[in-house]
Amino acid sequence: MSQPIASPAVALAPPRHVAIIMDGNGRWAKARGLPRNLGHRQGVDAVREVVRACKRLGIEYLTLYAFSSENWKRPQSEVAGLMDLLRLYIRRELDELARNGVSIRVIGNRSRLAPDIVALIAEAEAKTRDNRTLTLVIALSYGGQDEIVDACRRIAERVAAGALRPEDVDTNVVASHLQTVGIPDPDLVIRTSGEQRLSNFLLWQSAYSELIFVDKLWPDFSAQDLADAVGEFQRRDRRYGGSGA
Ligand code: FPP
């Protein structure tokens, strides 16, 4: 049974797209004298709870930063543990996610992933392609700068081939060459664990996102914490560079 979530007092529109930097698994484990990978394992429980809460909160897109392009620098045992958790998550949850109308999409550099994970991702994406309740975007081996560089390179190739004029390159053209093509920009970016930076996450897409930093470590983050962040978002005044007058 899921816990009831206390609704925010003001009923403004919820964020369509919430993106989360799930930080603090290592500190959660350290505080308990446990190995880091147990912190990541506990983090998967928080993922499950937050994914389930999205529908009740009216969130249509949820992007989770599961593994950054810089995370490859971590000890091999930690990287292997994280990859195992991702395998397990997709294998165990795919049927339930598919039944609940969740569409899975993975962004990031797949060339560095093990072939079985690449195949699993392709299966999950294909199986859930037509689902519409929630789009769960998993950022895996993902880096925002790499994503922008890759988009620039492909645009430059089209210009060099005469398929595109330099003066026609605008924000829409760039956005359409990013891996997030077709996904609205995040309205709200949440980072847990008290750190206050983007760490190469959705750099282009978060240009006008509201940022909320939560002190809790990711394994302790609950559906209620997500509802609270949504409530705070709904009290913010978004002006997109205008005066709001
Ligand atoms: C950051 O905490 C967290 C990660 C690098 C991994 C996040 C992964 C999961 C929650 C599990 C798998 C995800 C899915 C979608 C199934 P940290 O290790 O940097 O923590 P620290 O800053 O306290 O050391």
**pLDDT tens-digit map of 188-197:** 999 999 999 9
121 lines ligand 1 (CB under 6 A): no
How far apart CA 59 and CA 55 sit, in angstroms, is 6
pLDDT computed for residue 1 by the predictor = 44
How far apart CA 75 and CA 37 sit, in angstroms, is 11
Q: Is the pLDDT of residue 8 over 70?
A: no
pLDDT computed for residue 237 by the predictor = 84
Give the single-character DSSP code of 181: T
Question: What is the pLDDT averaged over residues 20-27?
Answer: 98
Give the dihedral sign, CA 29/24/59/96. negative
Give the dihedral sign, CA 115/121/122/124. positive
Q: Is the pLDDT of residue 7 over 60?
A: no
Question: What is the pLDDT averaged over residues 159-187?
Answer: 98
Q: Is the pLDDT of residue 11 over 90?
A: no
What is the Å distance from ligand 1's center to 64 Cα? 10
225 lines ligand 1 (CB under 6 A): no
How far apart CA 189 and CA 201 sit, in angstroms, is 9
Domain boundaries, the chain: 17-143+188-232
**pLDDT tens-digit map of 201-231:** 999 999 999 999 999 999 999 999 999 999 9
Fold classified for 17-143+188-232: Undecaprenyl pyrophosphate synthetase (3.40.1180)
Q: Whose alpha carbon is nearest atom 10 of ligand 1?
A: 43
What is the Å distance from ligand 1's center to 23 Cα? 6
User: Has 71 been annotated as catalytic?
Assistant: yes
pTM of the model: 0.94
53 lines ligand 1 (CB under 6 A): no
Exposure on the CB side of residue 4, measured as CA atoms within 13 A: 3
pLDDT computed for residue 242 by the predictor = 81
User: Has 23 been annotated as catalytic?
Assistant: yes
Band of the pLDDT at 123, cuts 50, 70, 90?
A: very high
Residue 107 in 3-state DSSP? strand
